[in-house]
């Protein structure tokens, strides 16, 4: 009899296992049915153009199943794409505030909430969201980019510098962050210069030089400060550094070098500064023409200019050459015709943009270190070719 009972034990265990499994399946089916009901209800509200009811219905589902988090994030994004930012914020905010949602899911919801706030123009709230994401392994780069974008818009250069330095400390040096950091120091230095605090500006510009070894802007700014303070030797040294770092920008330094030559009368030093780079831009070869004229070598100046224009034709070059010919022509009628032509070319030059963004094509006559169109640093450059340098 006892043996029979022992034989029945596996049967009882099997029965218990099957019943247990059925009960779990039943619970799952019940949950799934409630879930589907909420889904269909929510979907129905969406399709019948009642998005607020859809949001409320779908938010209820969170209590039932954490797997729906991805759907909620997508739903919030959907509202944002449709321009319904308040609904997007409601959905993403709900996810972020739930204690049961943790880890990457919570970070993803926070990232999307930040984008909602950015799109709505709530920069302070977006900043708070992204600051929390700086510790995330997955999203710190997104957070960093967005925070830079916020500080650039609000011109909070101190905060931008703090963030860039923190990023360099935590994640090492990168070209993008170093380049930005140098510009942030320059922006801060610009404020100090305008407030007549050149001592503070010089410290910031030295930091900019240290932050980005390729930076040109701090050298130009250092040169202008030195020129204003009549430290001409220092100014020449700084302006020469511009050419050493990026020849594209030498045309910005040449007019200041020429001013120094006029003030000091030291044209030989100016010629030395130009000597290595005089063929690299129109401003540079036209400065060489000015040097020859200042030394009374007018014929040599016009021959030299003609030769340069053949190699590197520019509107600026033509205008200067016409000016030289007008002085040499004795026939008044021909001189007047040339004057008229020169005036027309001058008008054209004044209307042409001086700088162009190599990233988005934005162009204008004002120099922007941060492109106002594509919001990138260091992409606006002096225009080369016939219209420019």
Of the candidate residues 371, 378, 382, 389, the single one contacting Zn ion (CB under 5 A):
371
Comparison of 304 and 368: residue with beta carbon closer to Zn ion: 368
| Least distance to Zn ion, CB of residue 357, Å | 3
* Footprint (CB under 5 A) of Zn ion, residues 240-259: none
Stretch that binds Zn ion, among 150-158, 161-169, 309-317, 371-379 (CB under 5 A): 371-379
Comparison of 325 and 362: residue with beta carbon closer to Zn ion: 362
| Least distance to Zn ion, CB of residue 113, Å | 28
Name 132's Cβ contacts closer than 8 Å, sequence gap at least 6.
Answer: 110
Comparison of 122 and 369: residue with beta carbon closer to Zn ion: 369
Q: What x-and-dash track marks residues 351-370 binding Zn ion by CB under 5 A?
A: ------x-xx-x--------
Of the candidate residues 128, 210, 363, 373, the single one contacting Zn ion (CB under 5 A):
373
Return the structure tokens found at 117: 């706030």
| Least distance to Zn ion, CB of residue 77, Å | 27
Four-point Cα dihedral 39, 42, 48, 49, nearest 10:
-140
Comparison of 278 and 355: residue with beta carbon closer to Zn ion: 355
* Footprint (CB under 5 A) of Zn ion, residues 298-357: 357
Contact between 164 and 181 under an 8 Å Cβ cutoff? The reply is: yes
Contact between 148 and 131 under an 8 Å Cβ cutoff? The reply is: no
Using rule CB under 5 A, residue 193 touches Zn ion: no
Comparison of 248 and 359: residue with beta carbon closer to Zn ion: 359
Comparison of 231 and 375: residue with beta carbon closer to Zn ion: 375
SS3 214: coil
DSSP string, 354-384: SEEETTT--EESS--SB-TTT--BT-EEEPP
**Cα–Cα distance, 109 to 72 (Å, whole number):** 9
Contact between 134 and 140 under an 8 Å Cβ cutoff? The reply is: yes
Contact between 189 and 201 under an 8 Å Cβ cutoff? The reply is: yes
Among 281, 289, 233, residue whose Cα is nearest residue 257 = 233
| Least distance to Zn ion, CB of residue 372, Å | 8
Comparison of 76 and 388: residue with beta carbon closer to Zn ion: 388
Contact between 149 and 375 under an 8 Å Cβ cutoff? The reply is: yes
Q: Give how many residues touch Zn ion by CB under 5 A.
A: 7
CA angle 217–220–221, rounded 5-degree value: 85
Contact between 45 and 57 under an 8 Å Cβ cutoff? The reply is: yes
Of the candidate residues 62, 345, 374, 383, the single one contacting Zn ion (CB under 5 A):
374
| Least distance to Zn ion, CB of residue 148, Å | 16
| Least distance to Zn ion, CB of residue 174, Å | 21
Q: Which residues bind Zn ion (CB under 5 A)?
A: 357, 359-360, 362, 371, 373-374
């Amino acid at each position: 009899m006892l043996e029979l009972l022992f034989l029945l034990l596996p049967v009882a265990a099997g029965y218990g296992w099957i019943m247990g499994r059925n009960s779990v399946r039943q619970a799952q089916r019940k949950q799934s049915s409630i879930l589907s009901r909420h889904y269909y209800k929510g979907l129905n509200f969406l399709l019948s153009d009642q998005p607020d009811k859809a949001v409320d219905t779908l938010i209820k589902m969170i209590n039932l199943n954490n797997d729906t988090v991805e759907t909620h994030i997508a739903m919030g994004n959907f509202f944002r794409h449709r321009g319904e930012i308040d609904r997007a914020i409601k959905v993403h905010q709900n996810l972020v505030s739930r204690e049961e949602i943790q880890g990457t899911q919570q970070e993803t919801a926070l990232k999307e909430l930040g984008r909602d706030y950015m799109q709505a123009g709530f920069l302070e709230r977006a900043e708070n969201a992204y600051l929390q994401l700086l510790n995330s392994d997955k999203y710190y780069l997104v957070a960093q980019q967005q925070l830079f974008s916020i500080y650039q818009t609000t011109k909070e250069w101190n905060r931008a510098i703090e963030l860039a330095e923190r990023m360099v400390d935590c994640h090492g040096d990168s070209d993008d962050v170093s380049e930005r950091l140098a510009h942030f120091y320059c922006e801060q230095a610009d404020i100090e210069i305008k407030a007549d605090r050149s001592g503070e500006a010089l410290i910031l510009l030295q930091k900019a030089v240290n932050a980005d070894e390729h930076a040109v802007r701090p050298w130009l700014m250092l040169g202008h400060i030195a020129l204003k303070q009549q430290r001409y030797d220092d100014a020449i040294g700084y302006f020469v550094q511009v050419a050493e770092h990026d020849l594209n920008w030498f045309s910005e330094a040449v007019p200041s070098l020429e001013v120094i030559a006029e003030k000091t009368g030291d044209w030989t030093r100016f010629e030395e500064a130009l000597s290595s780079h005089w063929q690299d831009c129109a401003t540079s070869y036209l400065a060489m023409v000015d040097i020859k004229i200042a030394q009374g070598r007018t014929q040599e100046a016009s021959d030299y200019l003609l030769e340069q224009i053949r190699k590197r034709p520019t509107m600026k070059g033509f205008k200067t050459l016409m000016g030289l010919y007008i002085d040499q022509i004795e026939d008044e009628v021909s001189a007047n015709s040339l004057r008229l032509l020169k005036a027309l070319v001058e008008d054209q030059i004044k209307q042409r943009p001086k700088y162009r963004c190599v990233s988005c094509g934005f162009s204008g006559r004002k120099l922007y270190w941060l492109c106002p169109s594509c919001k990138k640093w260091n992409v606006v450059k002096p225009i080369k070719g016939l219209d420019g340098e």
